[in-house]
Structure 1
Amino acid sequence: MSDPTADPRVQSLINQLRPGAVRTVRVAGFDGADVLVQLVDVEGEKAEIARIPRQEASMRRMEHPSELFEVGQEINAEEIGRWREGQLHLSARACEIQALRSFLLAFEGGQVVAGTVSEVHNFGVFVHVDGEPDGSCTGFIRVPDLTWGWINHPSEAVEAGQRITAEVIIAETRTGQVTLSLKALQDDPLIRFADQVGRVLTGPIIKIVPFGVFVQLAPDVVGFLHLSELADESVETPGKLVDEGELITVEVTEVDLQRHRVRLSAAGGADRT
């Protein structure tokens, strides 16, 4: 399995998205589209003033939070951090649907879950996770987490109505979603390919970009050949030299397992057939 938290930048982001402590607050007023609230201590006394940003007020559509809240109303909200010279910010939407919150809090990173693909879009895939509250669609799979292989659209990996098994990356109470990964339950093909450094291989060009080309080297393994390996600096784009689908002979110069990339160099003057 892969470890999506291996990158410290990813871990930092996940830590920011983890559910925070729940506080009881009373609505004190509005500052533009934000909701100002007073924290209530265990004895029911009013304490510091905190803020609920507009986007954290509710999952429901609204023109202004005053449509949903009134001064003096007592609500629960989740701590999300301190900004504006230390002012506490909260999320009311994270506590809005208790059944949904309870469902999401039961997940842990690395847990394996099952579900049914609901919708497939160019930006990712929505999934009905087994056991989710009625009316919810809690699962989401980003495009990079669908497969190790090269795809042009998520529909090449899954389809609506398909049953899947996936690994939990993180459950977010503020968005009402659990981010999933299909790829995490698949073997990394680069592990088997790592011993190919120095080998000369021939494969089709599957994509051309302004600074180089991507070459299919093996099932689910794609390498990158920089423009400078194809021609001298006078050529501005590889599209003037090669076509998609064309076979090209390259040398594998690096297999980076951490960044999951393969670097190539031209072999025999970038022979093409």
Structure 2
Amino acid sequence: MRKIVLAKSAGFCYGVRRAVELAEEKAAQGIPCVMLGPIIHNRDVIDRLAAQGLRVVDRPEQVPDGSAVIIRSHGESRAVHEHFAWRWIEVFDATCPNVTHIHQIVEEAELRGRQPVIVGTPDHPEVLAIAGWCKAPVVLSGEKDLEKWLESGENRNNLPLTFVSQTTSTQKIWENCVKKAKKLCTNAEFFDTICGATSKRQEEARQLAAQCGLMVVVGDRQSSNTKRLGEICRESCPEVLLIERAGDIELDRLPQADMVGITAGASTPAWIIKEVFDKMSEEILEMDKSFQEMLEESFKTLNNGDKVTGTVVAITPTEVQVELGIKYPGYIALTELSDDPTVKVEDIVKVGDEIESIVMQVSDRDCMVKLSKRRLDINKGWEEIEAARENETVVEGFVTEDNKGGVVVSVKGVRVFVPASQTGLPRETPMSALLKQKVRLVITEVNRARRRVVGSISRVTRAERAAAAEKVWAEIEDGKRYTGTVKSLTSYGAFVDIGGVDGMVHISELSWSRIKHPSEVVKVGDTVDVYVISADKEKKKISLGMKDHSQDPWTVFTTTYQVGDTANVRVVKLMTFGAFAEVVPGVDGLIHISQLADHRVEKPGDVVAEGDKVDVKITDVDMENKKISLSIRALLEPSYDEEGEEPSIEE
């Protein structure tokens, strides 16, 4: 043998380490306590805990009155928790957070009227615990079981299915089940709840096994996790040895191999791995340095301010839990994850991701390390802020505070003050209008010693607007269409920003209908489609239109009405000689004063008012001059007989 290599993720996972440390803590405190079932699948660890005074009981009824109980990392059913609550027994819950998350998923799924389906080894204690959080669980070991269950018709109520996976299943088994379910089921939902640390350990073991002539898998023979590692290694390596401890190794009987790989199940402590390594090193000439370094890492201590990299193993509503490869787990509170108040946790990290953070506190009492990604980002942010000031580059940030003097923008976690004069807001606009807005700015002053940074939003706005305006003037031409924003209104029209340049839409070009004020058609802030009527590049003036010229109002009128038709029209203007009324938008007709009523009218206002809707008869159309004569009187006078004689009064 020449070389030995250890898989980086070998040994205790976060959940197991957390459970063992909780048990050791309670033993050290001298609290009368028992463990319900082996806290993890490792006899050596259980024997060590027994030596500290923690014995194992098999059933909840065996927990003595007055004693506390430790729930193992695999978790227990809801009924077990209710049993202890009923007996007023104190519970120290060492259930892995990943497993607790699965409990919540299946419980909520059933409450929503769905059928929970658990993919995993049916008799595994962790699977039994998950099944104990719903009334009618279905446990399947793989895609063949799934197919048989679906064909059996046992889902008689045809409930929609919710799939979860337990870590005794491999990623391949899970993916095959998902693929099969998507073909055979409708409205199914899938939660890939295989622990990220487990998936990572299995993949590293697979890759290492492909390079080695011998793989040594260390772990308890009752551990499903360890058994899976052995199965995975056998797929790629000709010789695989499963052992529980160093004493199981017979050096003179080890197969010859140029390279030996070692991996260990999630329930294997570092001291057992070290014993295995020490014994094997007696026969191995070359040792991979990363192996020794990893063992040292598992025992090393951290100090506040240290930068660390770990693997995300669980995400809860309040924190992200990180495996650091040391004796304590790491926690990042959601408030310490990002300085961006709008960002979602899932957009930053997922279970299985590597994450870099900074140590805020190492608590030996609580057996944990408090971490912050946000503060690490802030430290990096200062470097980026200084570079942005030097290079005059534009940065982005969120407005987090406002006052009379200006606003505070968070850029890369660094507070940047923007004076009111540099916000770009009109004087009458309150600074609060920018709160929670994403803005672009340049850094104008940096004093890291005083933690002072000043920036300007308006400089960016002016520069971007100037660049946009230059582009508009270079490309503008009559008839070109733009999408713009209404900036202001006057009595004679509306000013529209078409991308750095304002153009005016005259009131007559806002609508085919007759209007008194632009506000009848648009309001400030509206997005409108406009076209260029004319552009004077020397005077920097642009005339815009909004009316749709693709449909001529006169054509609309002539194709809709003809002489003799009745129309409902709107009175738009009164004159001494009659009233003008809109027949269709953009086309008015005249109701002469003599045609306003069937009696003499002194002035039009005695009969109609602007805005009135009235029925009229179209009596004449001057096609050449586009003039229309309308009459109310023609609809009020009695009809004539076919010969045109007026009926007598007697009739």
Under a length normalisation based on structure 2, what TM-score does the superposition of the two structures give?
Answer: 0.23
In the TM superposition, residue 153 of structure 1 has moved relative to its aligned partner by 1.7
Deviations, residues 67-114 of structure 1 (Å, cap 9, x unaligned): xxxxxxxxxxxxxxxxxxxxxxxxxxxxxx999687435321111112
Change (3 A) 1:153 1:199: farther
Q: What residue identity is the alignment partner of 2:529?
A: T
- Mapped to 2, the partners of 1:223 and 1:105 lie a distance apart of 44
Look up the match of 1:122: 491
Deviations, residues 48-69 of structure 1 (Å, cap 9, x unaligned): xxxxxxxxxxxxxxxxxxxxxx
In the TM superposition, residue 171 of structure 1 has moved relative to its aligned partner by 0.5
Q: What residue identity is the alignment partner of 2:617?
A: V
Please say which structure displays the higher CA radius of gyration.
Answer: 2
Q: Equivalent of 1:112, from 460, 467, 481?
A: 481
Indicate conservation of the 8 Å contact 1:167/1:185, yes or no. no
Q: What residue identity is the alignment partner of 1:200?
A: D
- Mapped to 1, the partners of 2:486 and 2:475 lie a distance apart of 21
- Mapped to 1, the partners of 2:620 and 2:472 lie a distance apart of 47
Look up the match of 2:196: none
- Would you tell me which structure has more strand in proportion to its own residues? 1
The gaps in structure 2 that reach 5 residues or longer are: 1-465, 638-651
Secondary structure of the residue that 1:183 maps to in structure 2? Answer: coil
Q: Equivalent of 1:157, from 512, 515, 521?
A: 521
RMSD over aligned Cα, in angstroms? Answer: 3.5
Look up the match of 1:250: 617
Look up the match of 1:223: 589
Q: Equivalent of 2:510, from 146, 154, 157?
A: 146
Q: What residue identity is the alignment partner of 1:215?
A: A
Q: What residue identity is the alignment partner of 2:571?
A: I
Q: Equivalent of 1:266, from 619, 624, 631?
A: 631
Q: How many residues align?
A: 168
- Mapped to 1, the partners of 2:578 and 2:635 lie a distance apart of 13
Change (3 A) 1:218 1:100: closer
Indicate conservation of the 8 Å contact 2:597/2:633, yes or no. no
Q: How does 1:1-273 map to 2 (within 5 A)?
A: 103-104=472-473, 106-130=475-499, 132=500, 137-184=501-548, 187-195=551-559, 196-210=561-575, 211-218=577-584, 221-227=587-593, 229-230=595-596, 237-244=603-610, 245=612, 247-251=614-618, 253-254=620-621, 262-266=627-631, 268-269=633-634, 271=636
Judge which range, 108-117 or 172-181, deviates more. Answer: 172-181
- Mapped to 2, the partners of 1:180 and 1:116 lie a distance apart of 13
Look up the match of 2:215: none
The gaps in structure 1 that reach 5 residues or longer are: 1-96
Q: Which is bigger in relative contact order (C-alpha 8 A, separation at least 6)?
A: 1
In the TM superposition, residue 173 of structure 1 has moved relative to its aligned partner by 2.8
Change (3 A) 1:238 1:148: same
Change (3 A) 1:226 1:102: farther
Change (3 A) 1:101 1:255: farther
- Mapped to 2, the partners of 1:225 and 1:175 lie a distance apart of 44
- Mapped to 2, the partners of 1:203 and 1:123 lie a distance apart of 29
Q: Percent identity?
A: 26
In the TM superposition, residue 144 of structure 1 has moved relative to its aligned partner by 1.0
- Mapped to 2, the partners of 1:168 and 1:216 lie a distance apart of 27
In the TM superposition, residue 263 of structure 1 has moved relative to its aligned partner by 1.4
Change (3 A) 1:199 1:169: same
In the TM superposition, residue 191 of structure 1 has moved relative to its aligned partner by 1.7
Q: What residue identity is the alignment partner of 2:631?
A: A
In the TM superposition, residue 255 of structure 1 has moved relative to its aligned partner by 6.5
Under a length normalisation based on structure 1, what TM-score does the superposition of the two structures give?
Answer: 0.50
In the TM superposition, residue 123 of structure 1 has moved relative to its aligned partner by 0.5
Indicate conservation of the 8 Å contact 2:617/2:631, yes or no. yes
Change (3 A) 1:255 1:102: farther
Deviations, residues 189-244 of structure 1 (Å, cap 9, x unaligned): 33222132313324244223224212243466542323354489x96632133334
Secondary structure of the residue that 2:523 maps to in structure 1? Answer: coil
Q: What residue identity is the alignment partner of 1:173?
A: K
Change (3 A) 1:172 1:212: farther
Q: What residue identity is the alignment partner of 2:620?
A: T
In the TM superposition, residue 177 of structure 1 has moved relative to its aligned partner by 1.9
Secondary structure of the residue that 2:508 maps to in structure 1? Answer: helix
In the TM superposition, residue 139 of structure 1 has moved relative to its aligned partner by 0.8
- Mapped to 2, the partners of 1:270 and 1:149 lie a distance apart of 26
Indicate conservation of the 8 Å contact 1:202/1:250, yes or no. yes
Indicate conservation of the 8 Å contact 1:208/1:239, yes or no. no
Q: What residue identity is the alignment partner of 1:213?
A: A
- Mapped to 1, the partners of 2:590 and 2:538 lie a distance apart of 38
- Mapped to 2, the partners of 1:105 and 1:205 lie a distance apart of 44
- Mapped to 2, the partners of 1:203 and 1:111 lie a distance apart of 37
Secondary structure of the residue that 2:636 maps to in structure 1? Answer: coil
In the TM superposition, residue 249 of structure 1 has moved relative to its aligned partner by 1.8
Indicate conservation of the 8 Å contact 1:248/1:271, yes or no. no
